[in-house]
Chains A and B, each alone.
Chain A
Amino acid sequence: MLLEWSFAIFSGLTLGMAAFLVAAGLTLVFGILKILNFAHGTFFMLGAYVTYSILGTESASMAAFLLATLAAGVVVGGAGWATDLVIFRRLRDSDYHYTLIATFALLLLITGLVKIIWGLDFRLVRPPEVLETTWFIGGIFIPAYSVFVIAAGIVVFLILDFGLQRSWIGKTVQSVARDPWMAEVLGINNRVVMTAAVVVSFMLAGIAGGLLLPNQSLSPALGDVFLLLAFTAVIIGGLGNVRGAFIASILLGLIESVSTVLLPDLPGISIFVALIVFILVRPQGIFSGAQ
């Protein structure tokens, strides 16, 4: 019983960090541009496919894996720059419904492109050699790859949080998010800051795609699964709040894995119930007010 629970908690943490890797970019772009990007999960999927195209399905070395992931980040970041140029910039002053629907259209477009380029087949990619082992600690099996995902989530969080809260770049970005007009008056180039935020957000999606590629069944439906998970994390954490998204992701992972133990007949539903309850009871998220 104890073993079952400790395993559930461990797998919950893994799922939570995976969700955070996707949610990070989503909440970043919302915090600064107030755009909820429906296509974020699709670009995450695109990152996974790009990494797959570089690596193939066999185990690669750790260095090759990380480099391929970085390449996916660059490719998807480039797509983000194009998206900002063609879509976000044009719709900046229009009703938010239109931006929502535009990102939804983008979701369809990219999914269609992925289907044409890579087909509909499911693919399974093995993790790098170093991460293929499993450790046996305290009675439970711990896959090295899961530890890697948790570590990656924490590293991405620390970099983002430090970058946003401590560096001058982060402070500039926050000032634009808080009051774009005043920032402009003070001589900050809002356009550049916003474009940079979009590019970084998409890069994060691409990198998350690469990092989470192993052990997933890679298919054009991959984006949907993670998109809803990331949406939930972003809403529960408070829209635009990176710290909130981090805590909410962990919480979600734990909710999901604990409910798998308690309610094995109803897979997947607990996250949506959590989402609905949170929107109704605390729509501003767990950390209200904080950016």
Chain B
Amino acid sequence: MADRSVYFWPAAGVIALIATALAPLFANDSVTFILGLAMIEAVFALSWNLLFNYTGIASFGHAAFFTLGAYFVACAQRYGWDVTFPLQLLVAFALGGGAAFAIGAVALKRASGIHLAILTLAIAEVVRMVIGYIDYVGRDDGLGGIPRPVVNLGLATLDLRSSSAYYWCILVVCVALALGLWWLVRSRYGRALRSIAEDAERATFVGMDIYKLRLFSFTISGAVAAICGGLSAPWVQIVTPDLSHWLHSAQPMLNTLLGGSAMFWGPAVGAFAYSLINYSTRTLDGVSEIVVGGILLTIILIAPTGITGALESLRRKIFQKWRAASPWAQVRVKGEQI
């Protein structure tokens, strides 16, 4: 192997994954809780970036799908619907995908750019208001006291009521979803999406159906966001209409830019970094907004490639000498992909 630097990202990923998996064993409850949320927000941000970086669409109301999934699982758990938890997550996935397909089918045909941004924002606001009118889901107060599930597997039962058991459940589902998205962006669909994000006009010219591809991406993204919401409901144990507030829609945006939108894992890195920042500034009203707004602004103005972008250029610098000395250097430079 000529270039050891290619191991940098996989190694970092494996270390991060092991650390996250072991967290409930040595971290206290509040840190575990925040890490669980961070995993969910990480996948939520990855689903947003599927639209932003890989398809060239900015959704400002992505939280609407998250809310849909969260409320479905919340109702199912709270009112004891006769649906097992894995099936609940699948239904949340289907609901989110169905809603995204229905909205996207109309919206992507009629609107783009700024209009699409405002449209998605308005739809999320409507979701928030409609939930506030429905007695069954607790109006503006939301649904509280959501129990964590016990899954019956036939031969054995999986008890997820304890905090650490549900934490590992989140970990497994989130890793599966993230790998699924990772596979998607590397498949031929992912490459087709990339091409329309880069230059929609040329993609049309070579015979791609832009509308269909965008709709496909919008549907998958909405479905993943809904499953994230479904996972979060038993973890936080309360759902409120504010899940669909535009501040929550801004969360994946923020995580994505913080981590770096150009690399697939950037949004996930951003989600964990944001949780860290938020955890350390949580005490004073207003400070968290200043810190978050200030960081976001600084990133956009000074380092638009985010944390992973900065690390990537660092990686290149460190391994540059090694690479230059290698007889493979010329070959790699020619065939290099980011």
B75 part of interface (Cβ distance < 8 Å): no
Shortest distance in angstroms between B255's beta carbon and chain A's nearest beta carbon? 12
Query: Do residues B285 and A104 form an inter-chain contact, with CB atoms below 8 A?
Result: no
In the complex formed, the residue of A with least CB distance to B124 is A272
In the bound complex, CA of A104 to CA of B111 (Å)? 21
- The bracket for how many chain B residues form the interface is 35 or more
Given the complex of chains A and B, what is the CA–CA distance between A127 and B292 in angstroms? 36
Which chain B positions have C-beta within 8 A of A108?
A: 289-290, 292-293, 296
Which of B122, B126, B130, B285 touches A120 (beta carbons < 8 Å)?
B285
Residues of B within 8 A of A120 (CB): 285
Q: A101-B296, A101-B300 are in contact. Are A280 and B290 (CB under 8 A)?
A: no
Of all chain B residues, the one with the shortest Cβ separation from A231 is: B118
Asked if residues A87 and B301 are in contact (CB atoms below 8 Å), the reply is yes
Distance, CA A92 to CA B141, complexed state (A): 43
Knowing A97-B58, A101-B300, A116-B287, say if A275 contacts B118 (CB, 8 Å).
Answer: yes
CB neighbours of A91 from chain B (8 A): 300-301
Min C-beta distance of A262 to chain B, whole Å = 15
For residue B37, CB closer than 8 A to chain A, the reply is: no
A112→B301 contact, CB < 8 A: no
List of A residues within 8 angstroms of B290 by Cβ:
108-109, 112-113, 116
Most buried by B among A97, A113, A281: A97
In whole angstroms, how far apart are the Cα atoms of A90 and B250 in the complex? 22
A201 near B: Cβ within 8 Å?
no
Does A86 reach chain B (CB closer than 8 Å)? Answer: yes
Interface members, chain B 97-111 (any A CB < 8 Å): 106-107, 110-111
Interface centre among A96, A116, A283, by most chain B C-beta atoms within 10 angstroms, is A283
Q: Would A112 and B288 count as touching, CB distance under 8 A? A: yes
The residue of chain A having its C-beta at the shortest distance from the C-beta of B58 within the complex is A97
A105: interface (CB < 8 Å): yes
Q: Which of A116, A228, A265, A283 contacts B285 (CB 8 A)?
A: A116
Please measure, in the bound complex, the distance between the C-alpha atom of A112 and the C-alpha atom of B286, giving whole angstroms.
4
- Contact residue among A112, A268, A269, A279 (Cβ-Cβ distance under 8 Å from B118): A279
A142 within 8 A of B: no
Q: How far is the CB of B280 from chain A (nearest CB, A)?
A: 15
In this assembly, does B133 line the interface, its C-beta being within 8 Å of a C-beta of chain A?
A: yes
B113 at the A/B interface (Cβ < 8 Å)?
yes
The one of A96, A97, A269 in contact with B126, judged by C-beta atoms closer than 8 angstroms, is A269
* Known interface pairs A275-B118, A275-B122, A283-B115; A112-B287 also in contact (CB < 8 Å): yes
Q: How far is the CB of B121 from chain A (nearest CB, A)?
A: 8
Within 8 A of B (CB), among A244-291: 265-266, 268-269, 272-273, 275-276, 279-281, 283
Determine if A104 and B250 form an interchain contact, defined as CB atoms under 8 angstroms apart: yes
CB neighbours of B133 from chain A (8 A) = 265-266
> Closest CB-CB distance, B132 to chain A, in whole Å?
9
Interface members, chain A 229-253 (any B CB < 8 Å): 231-232, 235, 239
Chain A's closest residue to B261 (CB) is: A97
Contact flags (1/0) for B111-132 with A, using CB distance below 8 Å? Answer: 1011101110111011001100
Report whether B125 and A228 are in contact in the complex, using a CB–CB cutoff of 8 Å. yes
| Contact status A115-B115, CB under 8 Å | no
Which residue of A96, A107, A119, A276 is within 8 Å of B113 (Cβ)? A96
- Assembly CA distance A269 to B293 (angstroms): 29
Interface residues as binary, B261-293 with A (CB distance below 8 Å gives 1, 0 otherwise): 000000000000000000000001111111111
A265 to B294, CA, bound (A): 40
* A212 CA / B107 CA spacing, docked (Å): 35
Fill in one digit per residue for B241-265: 1 if any A CB lies within 8 Å of its CB, else 0. Answer: 0000000001001000100000000
Which among A100, A106, A119, A265 is the interface contact of B297 at CB below 8 angstroms? A106
Which chain A residue has the least Cβ–Cβ distance from B301? Answer: A90
Contacting residue for A268 out of B119, B129, B294, CB 8 A:
B129
Query: What B residues does A111 contact at CB under 8 A?
Result: 286, 289, 293
Complex CA gap A265/B134 in Å reads: 11
- Check B52 for interface membership: any CB of A closer than 8 A: yes
Q: Say yes or no for B304: interface residue by CB 8 A criterion.
A: yes
Q: Complex Cα distance A220/B123, Å?
A: 23
Other than A100-B58, A283-B110, give 9 A-B pairs with Cβ distance below 8 A. A87-B301, A97-B58, A101-B253, A102-B300, A105-B293, A106-B297, A114-B286, A275-B119, A280-B110
